[in-house]
Amino acid sequence: MTILILGGTAEARQLAAALGDRLAFAVTVSLAGRTAAPAPQPVPVRIGGFGGPEGLASYLRDQRIDALIDATHPYAAAISANAAEAAAVTGVKLLAMRRPPWAKVEGETWIDVASIADAVRALGETPRRVFVTLGRNELQPFAAAPQHYYVIRSVDPVDPPLDVPHATYLTARGPFAEGDDRALLERHRIEAIVAKNSGGAATYGKIAAARALGLPVVMLKRPVLPDVPSVETVDEVLSWLDHALTFSTARGV
Ligand code: NAP
């Protein structure tokens, strides 16, 4: 079976590693090309957009892909929609692997917002010290609130920097431990956090640290994703693929 994994997440890498040494599967991981030095992958990689759902459909046909696994980040809604559309028009089997969102626990203050502009408004007029963990290309709305002091963490440098007088930039790639994130929040005397509800363990440290320190989290709502078959774990994807392989072998396909 030829498999295309839409990646850009740790789970996609883990899935590729689990499939990489199985002879029944020829696996390629696709990355958008957002980060300058992506983490190494255990299987062949292709990089860059496909050119919308039509481009992805052409790729699936040209490369004779049997199964498409959408293992992208839960906030990468455009590529997930494209995957659903391309799978529908080509008849390629599609499975999404999606992390369940974090649930708010006792003692946490979450301010749920629908957009980054709403997140900026939720910070209020009074200057605050804010820790921001969004993508480096999503920060522009914060320029509308230059009264705050921002600590911004991203994988690659924010270039050009935000047009605000008080900002500190940190470049780092997860996973992040709770203890380290707590130390960071204390060092910068952070008063509020702006985050996505990414789910998973790798970036949960800041949420747990915020709870411990009694800090509010301005939480960006998850985008609506297409209604396609989906699972949560690498093991579930492997079972689905094994089932699909048995089925296609039985049909002699
Ligand atoms: P997006 O808004 O859903 O996608 C925008 C466009 O980028 C897509 O239409 C597609 O271009 C291209 N693209 C996205 N993912 C791709 C992939 N894996 N392979 C090839 N092309 C891809 O995506 P995004 O939110 O910018 O995220 C980009 C990548 O970063 C994703 O792979 C995602 O898993 C990863 N990531 C995202 C976040 C996040 O918060 N959004 C966080 C961590 C990692 P074409 O239409 O030209 O095909």
Ligand 1 within 6 A of CB of 55: yes
Q: What is the mean pLDDT of residues 2-15?
A: 96
> What is the tens place of the pLDDT at every residue in 9-46?
999 999 999 998 888 999 999 999 999 889 899 999 99
Predicted TM-score of the model (pTM) = 0.95
Q: Which residues contact 27 (CB under 8 A, 6 or more apart)?
A: 2, 3, 5, 16, 19, 20, 43, 44
- Whether 8 is in the pocket of ligand 1, judged by its Cβ within 6 Å, is yes
For 178, phi then psi, to 5°, come to -60, -40
Cα(28)–Cα(172) distance, integer angstroms: 26
The hierarchical CATH code for the domain 2-99+224-251 is 3.40.50.720
Residue 252 above 90 pLDDT?
no
Q: How far is the CA of 108 from the centre of ligand 1 (A)?
A: 30
**149-174: pLDDT as tens digits:** 999 999 999 999 999 999 999 999 99
Q: Categorize the per-residue pLDDT at 62 as very low, low, confident or very high, splitting at 50, 70 and 90.
A: very high
**156 Cα: distance to centroid of ligand 1 (angstroms):** 15
Q: Is the CB of 34 under 6 A from ligand 1?
A: yes
**DSSP assignment of 119-181:** HHHHT-SS--EEEEES-GGG-GGGGG-TTSEEEEEESS--SSPPSSSSEEEEE--S---HHHH
2-99+224-251 and 109-220: identical CATH topology: yes
- To the nearest whole percent, how much of the chain has pLDDT over 70? 98
Ligand 1 atom at shortest distance from the alpha carbon of 134: 40
Nearest to 4 by CA among 42, 46, 37, 38: 46
Ligand 1 contact, 111 CB (< 6 A):
no
Cross-strand partners of 95 = 69
What local confidence, expressed as pLDDT, does residue 241 receive?
95
Query: Phi and psi of 111, rounded to 5°?
Result: -110, 105
Give the residue carrying structure tokens 């997440």.
Answer: 9
Which of 54, 79, 97 has most ligand 1 atoms within 8 Å of its beta carbon, as the pocket-test mutant?
79
DSSP percent split of the chain into helix, strand, coil, nearest 5: 35, 20, 45
Query: 94-129 pLDDT, tens per residue?
Result: 999 999 999 999 999 999 999 999 999 999 999 999
Decide: 157 in ligand 1 pocket, CB within 6 A.
no
Phi, psi of 207 (to 5 degrees): -70, -45
Cα 73 to ligand 1 centre (Å) = 8
Residue whose CA lies nearest to ligand 1 atom number 43: 73
Q: Is the pLDDT of residue 246 over 90?
A: no
150 lines ligand 1 (CB under 6 A): no
**What pLDDT sits at residue 251?**
60
Amino acid identity for residue 73 in this structure: H
Indicate whether 250 pLDDT > 70: no
Going from N- to C-terminal start, the domains of the chain cover: 2-99+224-251, 109-220
Handedness of CA 69, 44, 46, 161 (dihedral sign): positive
What is the CATH code of the structural domain delimited by 109-220?
A: 3.40.50.720
